[in-house]
Chains A and B, each alone.
Chain A
Amino acid sequence: MPELNLTSAPAHLRHGSNIGQPLTRRDGILKVKGQATYAADNHPPGMLFAVMAVSSIARGRVTSLDVTAAKRHPGVVDVMTPDHKPRLAIDPEIKTNPFVFRMEVLQSNEVRYANQPIAVVIAETLEAATEGAVLLAPRYETLPALVGLDAGESFVPPVVGVGNPTENHRGDVEAGLASAEKQIDAIYETPPQYHNAMEPHAIVAAWDGDSLSIDMPTQGLMLSLGRIAELFGIAPDKIHIRSPFLGGGFGSKGLMAGPQVLGVMAAKLIGKPVKLVLRREQMYGPVGHRAPTRQRLRIGTDGEGRLTALDHHARTVSSTFDDFYEPAADASHTLYAAPAIRTSHDAVRVNTGTPLFMRAPGEATGSIALESAIDEMAWACGIDPLALRLKNYAEVEPITGKPFSSKALRACYEQGAARFGWSKRSLQPRQMRDDSGLLVGWGMGTATFPALMFQAEARAAIRRDGSGAMEIGAHDMGQGAWTALAQIAADAVGLDIDRVEFKAGTSDLPDAGIAGGSAHTATAGAAIHSAGAAVVAKLADLATRDERSPLFGAGNAGVIARDGRLIRRDDESRGESYAEILARAGVAEVEARGTGAPNPAAMEEYAMHAHGAVFAEVKVDPELGQIRVTRMVGAFAAGRIVNPHLVKSQLFGGMIWGMSFALHEEAITDRRSGRIMNANLGEYHIPVNADVPPLDVITVEEHDTHVNALGIKGVGEIGITGSAGAVANAVWHATGVRVRRFPIKIEELLT
Chain B
Amino acid sequence: MKPFDYVRPATVAEAVAAAAQPGASYLAAGTNLLDLMKGGVSRPDRLVDLTHLEGLDAIDRLADGGLRIGALVSNADLAHDAAFAKSYPAVAEALLSGASAQLRNAATVGGNLLQRTRCAYFYDTASRCNKREAGSGCDARGGENRTQAVLGWSANCIATHPSDFCVPLVALDAIVEIEGKNGRREIALDELHRLPGDTPERDSALEPGDLIVAVRLPPAARGFAAHARYLKVRERTSYAFAVVSAAAALRIENGKIYEARLALGGVAAKPWRARAAEDVLRGVAPTADAFQEVAWRALTDAKPSGDNAFKIELARRIVVRALTLAAAGTPARMPALPASPFASTSGAIHA
Partner of B236, one of A624, A688, A750: A688
- Assess whether A687 is in contact with B236, with CB atoms less than 8 Å apart: yes
CA separation between A746 and B311, bound complex, in Å? Answer: 10
Task: Specify which chain A residues have a CB less than 8 angstroms from the CB of B240 in the assembled complex.
Answer: 685
Task: Specify which chain A residues have a CB less than 8 angstroms from the CB of B234 in the assembled complex.
Answer: 626
7 closest cross-chain pairs (CB), A and B: A56-B126, A747-B310, A690-B237, A677-B120, A690-B238, A621-B341, A436-B344
Interface residues on A, range: 35 or more
Segment touching A, from B216-224, B279-287, B313-321:
B313-321
| Inter-chain pairs besides A626-B341, A690-B239, A691-B236, 13 sampled, C-beta below 8 Å | A131-B2, A131-B3, A434-B345, A438-B341, A621-B342, A624-B341, A664-B236, A670-B143, A672-B143, A673-B139, A688-B237, A746-B235, A750-B313
User: 17 A-B residue contacts at CB 8 Å?
Assistant: A619-B342, A619-B345, A621-B341, A623-B317, A630-B345, A664-B235, A669-B144, A671-B143, A673-B127, A675-B127, A677-B121, A677-B143, A682-B118, A688-B239, A690-B236, A690-B239, A691-B236
Residue of B nearest to A620 (CB): B341
Asked whether any CB of chain B lies closer than 8 Å to the CB of A237, the reply is no
- Assess whether B317 is in contact with A688, with CB atoms less than 8 Å apart: no
Interface residues on B, range: 35 or more
CA separation between A623 and B351, bound complex, in Å? Answer: 22
Between B3, B126, B142, B320, the greatest number of chain A beta carbons within 10 A of the residue's beta carbon is seen for B126
State whether A625 and B142 are in contact (beta carbons under 8 Å apart), knowing that A127-B1, A438-B345, A664-B236 are contacts in the complex.
no
- Assess whether B310 is in contact with A746, with CB atoms less than 8 Å apart: yes
Partner of B40, one of A134, A436, A671, A672: A134
CA separation between A627 and B317, bound complex, in Å? Answer: 16
CA separation between A682 and B239, bound complex, in Å? Answer: 8
- Assess whether B337 is in contact with A690, with CB atoms less than 8 Å apart: yes
Asked whether any CB of chain A lies closer than 8 Å to the CB of B243, the reply is yes
Residues of A whose CB lies within 8 Å of any CB of B are: 56-57, 74, 127, 130-131, 134, 434-436, 438, 619, 621, 623-626, 628, 630, 663-664, 668-673, 675, 677-678, 682-683, 685, 687-691, 693, 745-747, 750
CA separation between A619 and B343, bound complex, in Å? Answer: 12
Task: Specify which chain B residues have a CB less than 8 angstroms from the CB of A746 in the assembled complex.
Answer: 233, 235, 243, 310, 314
CA separation between A218 and B316, bound complex, in Å? Answer: 51
Asked whether any CB of chain A lies closer than 8 Å to the CB of B333, the reply is no
CA separation between A553 and B144, bound complex, in Å? Answer: 79
Partner of B144, one of A435, A668, A691: A668
Partner of A668, one of B120, B321, B342, B344: B120
Q: Interface 1/0s, chain B 298-338, versus A by CB < 8 A?
A: 00000000000010011001101100000000000000010
Residue of A nearest to B43 (CB): A134
Partner of A436, one of B121, B243, B318, B345: B345
Asked whether any CB of chain A lies closer than 8 Å to the CB of B124, the reply is yes
Nearest-CB distance from A35 to chain B (Å)?
A: 23
State whether A685 and B236 are in contact (beta carbons under 8 Å apart), knowing that A672-B142, A677-B124 are contacts in the complex.
yes
Residue of A nearest to B99 (CB): A682
Nearest-CB distance from B221 to chain A (Å)?
A: 27
Task: Specify which chain B residues have a CB less than 8 angstroms from the CB of A745 in the assembled complex.
Answer: 235
Residue of A nearest to B313 (CB): A750
CA separation between A80 and B121, bound complex, in Å? Answer: 29
Partner of B238, one of A56, A663, A688: A688
State whether A626 and B239 are in contact (beta carbons under 8 Å apart), knowing that A678-B120, A747-B314 are contacts in the complex.
no
Partner of A750, one of B3, B100, B124, B314: B314
CA separation between A74 and B344, bound complex, in Å? Answer: 56
